[in-house]
Amino acid sequence: MTSRAAMGVVTVALCCVQPTCAEVPKELRDIGIEQRLNESVPLQLPFRDESGAAVHLGDYFGARPVVLALVYYECPMLCTLVLNGLVSSLKAVSFDAGDEFEVVAVSIDPDETPAMALAKKETYLKAYRRPDAARGWHFLTGDEESIRQLAEAIGFRYRYDPASGEFAHAAGVTVLTPRGKIARYFYGVEYAPRDLRLGLIEAAAETIGTAADQLLLFCFRYDAATGRYSAAVLNLVRLGGVLTVLSFAVFVFYTRQRETRVQTAT
């Protein structure tokens, strides 16, 4: 990849949610991610898995939330960064792929093969290092129509450049509910483990996670503009008020208990 092409791809990654960004070259301004929160993806779309078997997108939905990554396996730089960032984040999350969630990577290049998908799967399973993760990580290939429909459904805009033989595209992953509705977008090539964990919990309708996670969801709110969780200031104030009242109640209780013991002793 030439330095000019590399800079273009990185610029797209950084400005993917701002298609009018002045730093983005004119020819790349229609590349990006357009949020379509709460919309459904077409689960009937046909693909092939890493073994070459015919599958439908819906085969990976129904029981658990899904982390979806649109990439291509021979991408010279950006897709590797996306997948590396995803596996790095997921390694820091206590949930296991195949148990609490699924990961589905789909190639946007219709010429790529299941053999390429299998090679990628083996690489990232080795990096993930979780037992039985193979049943939770899926690398798919498909024809141009299936890829186009899926990309349109999640608002992922990309373009093939015949001169370089590469795809111009944005960087990010999407979290979907078990029923195939778009729940969260995370942009760039690095994803905070806390944000990804909270996104999975919300996509699963809070059927996974701990009491501490529920407290975090009370204190943090997803910001669609940034694709991150930020402090919910009003909720933090409310929580502070509740804790203050509880602390005062505990203080009064123990004070009265002590006074009662003193009176009894005398």
- 19 phi, psi to nearest 5 deg: -65, -15
Write the pLDDT tens digit of every residue in 122-134. Answer: 999 999 999 899 9
68 phi, psi to nearest 5 deg: -110, 130
Average pLDDT over residues 163-171: 92
Q: What is the pLDDT, as a whole number, of residue 207?
A: 80
Q: Is 50 helix (H, G, I), strand (E, B) or coil?
A: coil
Supply the angle between the helices 78-91 and 3-14 in degrees, to the nearest 10: 50
Assigned fold of 3-205: Glutaredoxin (3.40.30)
Tell me whether residue 245 is exposed, middle or buried, using C-beta atoms within 10 angstroms of its C-beta: 0 to 12, 13 to 18, 19 or more.
Answer: exposed
Confidence band, pLDDT 50/70/90 cuts, at residue 214: confident
pTM to 2 decimal places: 0.77
* CA–CA distance, 66 with 102 (Å, rounded to integer): 5
Decide which of 134 and 211 is more confident: 134
Check residue 39 and report its DSSP letter: P
pLDDT digits (tens, 9 = 90+) for 15-38: 444 444 455 566 566 899 999 999
DSSP 52: S
The residue with greater pLDDT, 173 or 239, is 173
**Which pLDDT belongs to residue 264?**
66
